[in-house]
Amino acid sequence: MSPTMPVTPSSNALTAFADLPARAIECKFLFDRDLYTSCHVQVPDVGQRLSAVYVDNQFYSFFKVIASAQKALEIMARLGKRDDKMAITLTKQGYAIWTHEPNAQYAPPVHQSNHRIYPVFGPKTCLLLTDSQMYELCRLQVPDMTKPLAAITYQNRHFSIFKRDSDATKLLEVAAKLARRGDNTLVTFTDQVYILGLLEPNGRVL
């Protein structure tokens, strides 16, 4: 499916979000084709149909394709100051960014008005934290581990640091696999260092 032109903000318009406070972004890493359904939707106040993906009973409309993982995360960080739910898929050209459309309605193919869209169950959502002031580093004691773990605390939830990497591509590959496995994950990215955290529900901060 060739995405139609996005109605979400252009790259230039993203500069308007620069002064807005950072927010946590809930992201679906849809790196396997069976994790979502491609479709079209109609949204309020937009005349044309939008290309979209459907997962977990939610629609995400196409924003743009970015060649590198690093640049895709940078754009999502800026876009996330307005849209706090996104999805990202893999294409031959790079990473496709999709923004959540809570009021979207499924638009069936023009000549198949009775066509239905069926539920697709995707991976766990990954939290993206783009500002170091949003979280705290700590030491965490978890059951069955004798030594404490380096960890991140966010809103009273504790995530052990699973991986640090300066390569965004490698880190996102691991994050996507963990999310598909059903793990609750968190990714921070500041100063070109990417950290992947894994939720420790029984962890205790030291």
Residue 21 has pLDDT above 80, yes or no: no
Least trusted range by pLDDT, from 42-46, 70-74, 85-89: 42-46
Q: Which two tokens stand for residue 97?
A: 């960014």
What's the pLDDT band for 46 if we cut at 50, 70, 90? confident
Domain 22-106 is of which CATH architecture? 2-Layer Sandwich (3.30)
pLDDT, tens digit, 9 for 90 and up, residues 105-133 = 999 888 887 788 988 999 999 999 988 88
DSSP for 125-158? PEEEE--GGG-EEEEEE-TT-SS-EEEEEETTEE
pLDDT (0 to 100) of residue 1: 44
CA distances from 127 to 73, 116, 117, 187, 197 (A): 12, 31, 27, 6, 9
Calculate the dihedral angle through the C-alpha atoms of 91, 117, 43, 19, rounding to the nearest 10 degrees: -40
Question: How many angstroms separate the CA atoms of 5 and 61, rounded?
Answer: 10
Up-side HSE of residue 145: CA atoms within 13 Å toward CB? 14
Q: Where in the chain is the domain with CATH 3.30.200?
A: 22-106, 126-205
User: What one-letter code names the amino acid at 113?
Assistant: S
For the chain, the straight-line distance linking the first and the last C-alpha, in angstroms and rounded, comes to 51
Q: What is the mean pLDDT of residues 74-90?
A: 88
pLDDT (0 to 100) of residue 47: 82
pLDDT (0 to 100) of residue 138: 95
Question: How many angstroms separate the CA atoms of 47 and 31, rounded?
Answer: 30
Tell me yes or no: is domain 126-205 CATH 1.10.3470: no
Which element (helix H / strand E) includes 178?
helix 168-181
Please give the sequence-ordered ranges of beta strands (E in DSSP) within the chain, or none if there are none.
25-30, 37-42, 50-55, 58-66, 85-91, 94-100, 105-106, 126-129, 136-141, 149-154, 157-165, 185-190, 193-199, 204-205
- The answer to whether the beta carbons of residues 94 and 168 sit under 8 Å apart is no
Question: How many angstroms separate the CA atoms of 115 and 26, rounded?
Answer: 30
Residue 171 has pLDDT above 90, yes or no: yes
